[in-house]
Amino acid sequence: MPQILDTALDAVGHTPLIRLDKIAKANGFKCNMLAKVEFFSAGGSVKDRIAKAMVIAAEKEGRLIPGKSVVIEPTSGNTGIGLALACAIKGYSVIITLPNKMSLEKEALLRALGAEVIRTPTEAAWDSPESHIGVAQRLQREIPYAVILDQYSNVNNPLAHELTTGPEIIEAVVSTPSTSEHPSSGKVDVLVAGAGTGGTVTGIARAIKKTHNKDCIVVGVDPKGSVLAGSGSNSPSDNVQYTVEGIGYDFIPDVLNFEDIDHWMKTGDEESYAAVQQIMRQEGLLVGGSSGSALSGALRWLQSDDGQEIANTEGLNVVVLFADGIRNYMSKPWFLQIALEAEPSPMAGVIAGILGKEKTANVSVKLAETPASTSAAERKPSVTPSLPDPAARSASPQIVSH
């Protein structure tokens, strides 16, 4: 039964598990493809969960003092948004350090929630004083009562997913009956998730393997140019630059446990953004770039020698984590290209035949001349220093069909 929530923090998580039947059919898969869609969370991403968990734990430990503490966090944006949301409710000041390549929308949302935002060079190595991590550490040393909750090493990062995201996925799969239309093993057979800090894939994997299905196959997705999947042809030494946000790093975060991950897939920007368009056009889900990476990695793994048997078995459940929504990326050139420069649909020709070509000609969008497409990385860096989880929204979450 729906109830009144005390604050927006009570609306963190409890996101739907939605079938990707059209995408599965288009690829000839017999398995069930299911998306855990995290942009339905209060702050718009999977990172809301860890932000809430880290703040509540720090309060219990006495690290955060109401009226005094200043929360500082180096982030790709989504963890910062989650923290800014939590701290707006709880009354803490927030400072976010953010690499230049991260979207203008993320900075705007952070500032709207009352956070101070400091941009840092994207190319700075993680251990450089100029990096988002280095700048955060300097500020923490010099600002009284400043605390870095540190998503990269904080045990509450993977723990939040072990205690919430994973159990939600398990409950939805178990609670959804097997039918002739949608046969189901009743288990989570495969999990596919992108890796940034690695806390999400690590925590969900632990929940599934410890309490539900020890034989679940976990596939981590890492962008080309990142080191998380290991060295080799796709290592940073090849100078591969990726624009997808929120996944991949140039170091191994402490919260990433390789023992929880069975396979890795490397993805490129082009295939990731093509997958975003596929998700939007075929499934109606307005996801962000890293969700495209997760889907692209899932599709290629299911087509591989390791994944073909899963793909061809009716009733097996493959869960893909969609970390955030397109809200954070609407001014990015890659999104404007797939949204405004896509091939005309057949209906465009029908309309032109009725109204005349002069009224229906497609407008050519020149991204370099579109003010809204200017990314934060193209602007000068800004250096303005300016719990127990609530009851689930439904007693028995189930897989959602279109």
Taking alpha carbons only, the member of 318, 38, 33 closest to residue 188 is 318
**pLDDT in the model for residue 190:** 98
Locus of tokens 């059919």: 25
| Residue pLDDT tens, the chain, 402 long | 789 999 999 999 999 999 999 999 999 999 999 999 999 999 999 999 999 999 999 999 999 999 999 999 999 999 999 999 999 999 999 999 999 999 999 999 999 999 999 999 999 998 999 999 999 999 999 999 999 999 999 999 999 999 999 999 999 999 999 999 999 999 999 999 999 999 999 999 999 999 999 999 999 999 999 999 974 434 444 568 899 999 999 999 999 999 999 999 999 999 999 999 999 999 999 999 999 999 999 999 999 999 999 999 999 999 999 999 999 999 999 999 999 998 888 999 999 999 986 554 554 444 444 344 444 444 444 444 333 343 444 456 888 886
- What pLDDT, on the 0 to 100 scale, is given for residue 357? 63
What per-residue confidence (pLDDT) applies to 359? Answer: 54
Coil, strand or helix at 22: helix
CA dihedral over 387, 393, 395, 399, signed as positive or negative: negative
Active-site option among 22, 25, 30, 47: 47
Which pLDDT value is given to residue 379? 42
Residue 399 confidence (pLDDT): 87
Predicted pLDDT of residue 390? 39
359 counts as catalytic: no
Extended beta strands in 224-301, E state: 263-267
Q: What pLDDT shows up at residue 392?
A: 43
Backbone angles phi, psi at 322, to 5 degrees: -100, 105
Nearest of 264, 154, 240, 247 to residue 203 by alpha carbon: 154
Nearest to 74 by CA among 286, 302, 251: 251
